[in-house]
Amino acid sequence: MGIRENLLRLEERIERAARAAGRRREDITLVAVTKTVSPERIREAYDLGIRHFGESRLQEALPKLEVLPKDIHWHFVGTLQSNKARRVAENFAVLHTLENERQLRAIAGAGTRPDALIEINIADEPQKSGLRAEDLDRFLESVLECNCVRLRGLMTVGPQVSCPEEMRPYFRKMANLLKKVPGGSWLSMGMSQDFEVAIQEGATHIRIGTALFGERDRI
Ligand SMILES: *Cc1c(COP(=O)(O)O)cnc(C)c1O
């Protein structure tokens, strides 16, 4: 199925989930995640009206940023290695994956002040990126002190579950944690499998790859 049909279906589902939760569609930003997607297909999505795109690797993203329209809001959703954080900050509007002081020091050298979210490892999974909820207070101090980003809120990927409904308690925990972020109002959570539950629990940014562009080839 083409991107146009996928987007129509996706929009219907987003609308329905928002309405069921008593929320407005325009309070939810669709971030189209385009890792492994060619610039031509990203352009197709752009021509259908999408303006927020997410990439997870700097090296893959830079050539795309170069050839695609300049009014795109690029979101960095991958692991933010500190040795690349400065260049990411210079090229992306929103960083979804802040989690340590090394990144902050690198971003401080960028001379831009991007929007940013702190990534939370919401199920305390070993080996998973993101900050544990218990470490949020301490890291918040560092972020605010650094003053190198506009801190907007929180992001999570969440555990692999067999049914979207199993994500609900984690998403709910995220919405509660957001209250700790001074002025924080953005919650980036929900992907192709579970965005409806995420919207019901307060997601403001859903990150969608597969439901728009189809299955990715495994690398
Ligand atoms: C790939 C990716 C997505 C999109 O996942 P889908 O299941 O394809 O919708 C969302 N968030 C992050 C961080 C990703 O890496």
* CA-proximal residue: ligand 1, atom 7 (nearest): 192
Average pLDDT over residues 92-102: 98
Q: How far is the CA of 145 from the centre of ligand 1 (A)?
A: 30
- Tally Cβ neighbours within 10 Å of residue 67: 10
Amino acid at site 119: E
Q: How many residues does the chain have?
A: 219
Average pLDDT over residues 176-185: 98
Pocket flag, ligand 1, residue 207 (CB < 6 Å): yes
Reply yes or no on whether the pLDDT at 1 is more than 90. Answer: no
Q: Quick one: pLDDT at residue 217?
A: 75
Atom of ligand 1 nearest to the CA of 207: 10
Reply yes or no on whether the pLDDT at 193 is more than 90. Answer: yes
Pocket flag, ligand 1, residue 6 (CB < 6 Å): no
Reply yes or no on whether the pLDDT at 219 is more than 70. Answer: no
* CA-proximal residue: ligand 1, atom 14 (nearest): 77
Instruction: Report the share of the chain in percent with pLDDT over 90.
Output: 97
Reply yes or no on whether the pLDDT at 69 is more than 90. Answer: yes
CA distance 55 to 190: 16
Q: Quick one: pLDDT at residue 218?
A: 63
Q: Quick one: pLDDT at residue 213?
A: 98
Average pLDDT over residues 143-154: 97
Pocket flag, ligand 1, residue 56 (CB < 6 Å): yes
Reply yes or no on whether the pLDDT at 204 is more than 80. Answer: yes
Average pLDDT over residues 158-163: 95
Average pLDDT over residues 108-126: 96
Average pLDDT over residues 51-69: 98
pLDDT 10s digits, 14-45: 999 999 999 999 999 999 999 999 999 999 99
Average pLDDT over residues 81-98: 98
Give the 3-state secondary structure of the chain: CCHHHHHHHHHHHHHHHHHHCCCCHHHCEEEEECCCCCHHHHHHHHHCCCCEEEECCHHHHHHHHHHCCCCCEEEECCCCCHHHHHHHHHHCCEEEEECCHHHHHHHHCCCCCCEEEEEECCCCCCCCCCECHHHHHHHHHHHHHHCCCEEEEEECCCCCCCCHHHHHHHHHHHHHHHHHCCCCCEEECCCCCCHHHHHHCCCCEEEECHHHHCCCCCC
Q: How far is the CA of 7 from the centre of ligand 1 (A)?
A: 16
Average pLDDT over residues 128-149: 97
